[in-house]
Structure 1
């Protein structure tokens, strides 16, 4: 998958494109990508995505996101997208009229001959462009339009905002159903204080990006993808208050029945079940005993 920016000097030809923030790449987004694949007929499949949502940019409201930029690119690549085009949130882009957006971005830059979108898609200055505008201007600008109905969960349209709400509440199983893939934290394994290794429970430590929306602090049943291989694991999100005094949240994962050193490796931690909240223990021995109980609980869930 090629990753480019609207700012780049590039003019694609004869493509099929879908547009959006695509936070999380949930079931509804996958439905759009599936429609692109079915209708590509040899054309390049393009995702045009915003670096942040226009609303957040205009309100200077940097909401945390379900996926980081790197995670979003990886998920789009796994969906068979050929070109991932970022649209920086610049005022000159936000000021484009619907007509200018179609002419300058969708036609001149992307070369779209088919546009795939949901029924509530809006674009252009003050979100003045909509599906009706796109439908009425197909012949004028030389593209076809495919409108894809939203995917539902328990009879309600799936939305990134609802998924974010469930992540904050720690409802991981529901989050995974709505995403259609496990909620995941991706990052480089950093050197820690090696406390886990000294008590026979080594951990792979990730410092998640500040923009990443994390579930509540606590212990979770997880799986870790290391170099393309998956292993059962148990993960703590939090500040490790028994042995640490800092406030920065870490993702610490103990990989079950795994002995290799993986410092500086990029790993993917997939979350499946909440085990218990993070809490302070009297001493390291008490912490170790609780972790061993947590591991047994995770094994029983397999």
Structure 2
């Protein structure tokens, strides 16, 4: 519970002031910097990657740098976007937003979160130049932690073998962390994306190691839910976020530091709306407080049904009440 509260408080400051470069974790500070910044680090343990999902495999990398730090700064070097997306000008929707990624890294105990801008000058670095100029001169790495299929440098020509062969030359030691598996298959951001698009949230959460979540500020709606006795908290998802299929889901909402069972509709609410903008409308079960303008976290667990158009508000109300009972039944069987 405490982690959820910290997560939301820090996110609110980052997202809606867009000014803070530091945030607090149990009295400590995680620094957020860019590779472009005029900063040089010394004696660090660093892990490198896209971290485009912060799934179980990524969490294992973070766990290794934390457990092997021995007083050194723990650094994550990640990319503003993926190299392939930059070169093709084709950015994928993200499993976690940039803000979520930073907070998840912070909660794992990372000291420095460094973003590598996707500039051609960086992408053109040879493996030798990447290690000498970035990992050693800029980051001060004395230990490098990566997965077995990590590639870097121009045309992804650098690999784990290169890092192993050059430990003495550049004065670092290498830790290679094997991939995590789910149902005997390697966990990857690609496989998680596929499950999200299929609405298979239990599989998604197992591979992530934490609930898939949507974070946002509760917006004022038309108050139609309240008129039928079923008020909703309405969120406009971050435009970069990969969303599950339109429909109703069993969810858990973290609000004001507490968790509540809920049902959430992802979609356009065709019964009462004519637009196409995707919203997340959440009815928090057995909760009566007004939470407009509050930052809430909606965690997704089970797909209940597809989004539908109803002939009347009364029929919509009856279906929502049935969805609530489905949610109660699922929770009761857990």
| TM-score bin (small chain) | over 0.9
2:223 aligned with 1:200, yes or no? no
Cα deviation digits, residues 216-266 of structure 1 (max 9, x gap): 000000001113221111100000000000001011111111112222221
2:68 aligned with 1:36, yes or no? no
* Counterpart Cα distance in 1 of 2:257 and 2:119: 37
CA displacement at 1:269 relative to structure 2: 0.6
* Counterpart Cα distance in 1 of 2:231 and 2:190: 35
What secondary structure, in the 3-state scheme, does the structure 2 residue paired with 1:58 have?
Answer: helix
- Choose the corresponding residue for 2:276, options 243, 247, 250: 247
What secondary structure, in the 3-state scheme, does the structure 1 residue paired with 2:202 have?
Answer: helix
Partner of 1:48: 77
Partner of 1:139: 168
Cα deviation digits, residues 81-123 of structure 1 (max 9, x gap): 1111111111111111111111221112211110000111000
Partner of 1:101: 130
Aligned counterparts, 1:12-23, within 5 A: 12-23=41-52
Partner of 1:170: 199
* Counterpart Cα distance in 1 of 2:169 and 2:127: 13
2:319 aligned with 1:286, yes or no? no
* Counterpart Cα distance in 1 of 2:42 and 2:215: 34
Aligned counterparts, 1:173-192, within 5 A: 173-192=202-221
Aligned counterparts, 1:54-93, within 5 A: 54-93=83-122
Residue ranges of structure 1 left out of the alignment (5+ in a row):
none
2:239 aligned with 1:210, yes or no? yes
What secondary structure, in the 3-state scheme, does the structure 2 residue paired with 1:129 have?
Answer: coil
- Choose the corresponding residue for 2:285, options 256, 270, 289: 256
CA displacement at 1:173 relative to structure 2: 0.6
Range that drifts further, 51-60 or 235-244: 51-60
CA displacement at 1:142 relative to structure 2: 1.2
* Counterpart Cα distance in 1 of 2:132 and 2:298: 42
CA displacement at 1:28 relative to structure 2: 0.7
CA displacement at 1:69 relative to structure 2: 0.5
What secondary structure, in the 3-state scheme, does the structure 2 residue paired with 1:215 have?
Answer: coil
What secondary structure, in the 3-state scheme, does the structure 2 residue paired with 1:55 have?
Answer: helix
What secondary structure, in the 3-state scheme, does the structure 1 residue paired with 2:260 have?
Answer: strand
How large is the RMSD of aligned CA atoms in angstroms?
1.0
Q: 1:227 to 1:142 in 2, by over 3 A?
A: farther
* Counterpart Cα distance in 1 of 2:103 and 2:231: 28
Range that drifts further, 143-152 or 78-87: 78-87
Range that drifts further, 75-84 or 159-168: 75-84
* Counterpart Cα distance in 1 of 2:284 and 2:33: 36
Cα deviation digits, residues 157-207 of structure 1 (max 9, x gap): 110000000100111111111111111111111111111112111111111
Range that drifts further, 235-244 or 58-67: 58-67
Q: Which 4+ runs in 1 deviate beyond 6 A?
A: none
* Counterpart Cα distance in 2 of 1:15 and 1:206: 40
